[in-house]
Chains A and B, each alone.
Chain A
């Protein structure tokens, strides 16, 4: 049945394309945003904050201390992280007793489903960010799996300021998404999970994280 469906559909479509008569209008290229690094950081920060994300701009020397200071005052049952990444190694080296315990994501989801759905916080690195529409780029990987940025109530994302691009198109181009091949899953994330399905009233924290904290390491 399915093999026929494929052949039938394609032959109907081809019968049409064979007749020609397709006008494809030209569209002039649009000059994208062109901001300097400081402006990109500023715009990203503003856009993310509008979407209720918390943004901390910190130096590459102080970011770990800043993170620890902010976590120390919270009551969290754990911080999900990916061992074997530079971020994971940095956390392991610097972690202390009085902080939410580090929870490594090392087993397949089938063996740790409960833990993943019950942990209060998760921390991931980022592939970059987009200043124009205020979004982080995440490329989950074997070391930092997909659910890390989804199931915990608080998602902390660590972003290198140098990877903030003007536009989505620029990020695809300059990071060579096509050349290096798309990851199994890539994401743009612009804030904590939200909905406006009841009377268009915007509320945050539906099915995904209730909070998003972004550490921009400048």
Chain B
């Protein structure tokens, strides 16, 4: 049976990640710390469950009114002077950004951390157009220096340790001394980026929550680079997936608490930045233009299916990554796509298509840890199971996931048909089990059997079937 391309690539990545001792040590220490901090903050289980119920309710309520909330958000933002753009695809979103940047004659954009911009591959796109996109979040800055992508949605450089970063800074930043002292590494980055903040022409950021009733864009961060990118340059472009909208300002406090607590175990981040309008005529700073780009990129299709819709509840805290037995051993790069871990495993196949990323749904042990820690109660295992089914669903499928049926093969379909026939025809089963009882020990180890027995002992077939044994003992199912 031939393996699909996504499976081949993933298996190669898995082997590479598992063989990387340094990566595994870095991950183990980081993931343990993050999960301990989270547990300490939400020590009161009952209070946490109440908060989680609120988080789920707020997100579900927002989704239940999604189109009208997006329109309300657009209307409020427009009233406030924020220019709203809609993009069906990442290509459209990139084009909108480029147009704004070109209009201002900017050569460089400074960026705050944004997973949507990663989804858009915005940096790569802008560089092709001769525009430098500089990441300013320390973690993002580190991986950009090394030509990498984030391996975690909250702590993007978590796969690196300080020795690796020390070498990287020394090699790639002009005149940077070699140091393994974390404070000194931070100071180097601060100095490098401060000049860029001062001279910044266009700032780009993501959006954590967009409040429909006030037209407010909320950003969560610790470093101050997000505030720099959204405050110092004359133009600010904010990028959001269309699911980020919430109905009311009062929806924000519980979600903020859940987000920072789940992500890093903090009661709140250093900065919570609420942007409602560009600079007013009497004001002295702040961007003169604020643009909001609302991106679909497959989200409206996810929205269309009641079971898949829960994927859009996500607030991108990363807790599911930190608690996943797969993620914590592989890190993010092995998944081969922008969003890793359990959330990546349910989101990416739906955004990119099963034929591109369907294998991600198999990166789960179904232990359910992701579900247990999810602050908005996304039913991960249900969605994973559905995606696995969709991968084999040829023709019309129940949930219509893009690329469904890509793993369908005639051989496999026939095998299951025969299996069904075998188990529903007593005569066939009787003859079959007699044959298997005699020949089962000598099955040729080829194809899937070879693969399966590579790391497992093949169980011996019983010489007599249960049916035979029952007959010999004189048992009769009629009595």
Contacts and interface: CB of A to CB of B under 8 A. Distances in A.
Interface of A: 1-2, 5-6, 8-10, 12-17, 21-28, 30, 47, 51, 105-110, 113-114, 117, 132-135, 140-142, 145-147, 150, 167-169, 172-173, 177-178, 181-201, 203, 205-209
B177 interface: no
A206 B92 contact: no
Nearest to B215: A182
Given A168-B256, A192-B270, A109 B250 contact: no
A5 B293 CA distance: 11
22 contacts: A9-B70, A9-B88, A12-B296, A109-B232, A109-B284, A114-B198, A117-B194, A133-B257, A134-B268, A142-B284, A145-B286, A146-B286, A184-B277, A184-B279, A185-B286, A186-B274, A190-B269, A192-B270, A197-B138, A197-B157, A200-B155, A206-B224
A17 B65 contact: yes
Given A107-B284, A188-B268, A198-B182, A13 B222 contact: no
Nearest to A109: B285
A137 to B, nearest CB: 10
A5 B249 contact: no
B223 A208 contact: yes
B127 to A, nearest CB: 23
Contacts of A208: 223-225, 227-228, 270-271
Interface in B62-93: 63-67, 70-71, 85-88, 92
Contacts of A8: 88
Given A8-B88, A142-B283, A184-B277, A22 B60 contact: yes
Contacts, number: 251
B86 A5 contact: yes
A198 B185 contact: yes
Nearest to A4: B88
Given A16-B304, A150-B231, A190-B270, A197 B63 contact: no
A146 B231 contact: yes
B232 A197 contact: no
Interface string B166-200: 00000000000000001101100110011001100
A167 B242 contact: no
B272 interface: yes
Contacts of B94: none
Given A28-B50, A150-B224, A206-B224, 18 more contacts: A5-B86, A5-B88, A47-B267, A117-B198, A134-B268, A147-B285, A169-B254, A184-B275, A186-B216, A187-B271, A193-B223, A198-B165, A200-B158, A203-B186, A206-B190, A206-B222, A207-B223, A208-B270
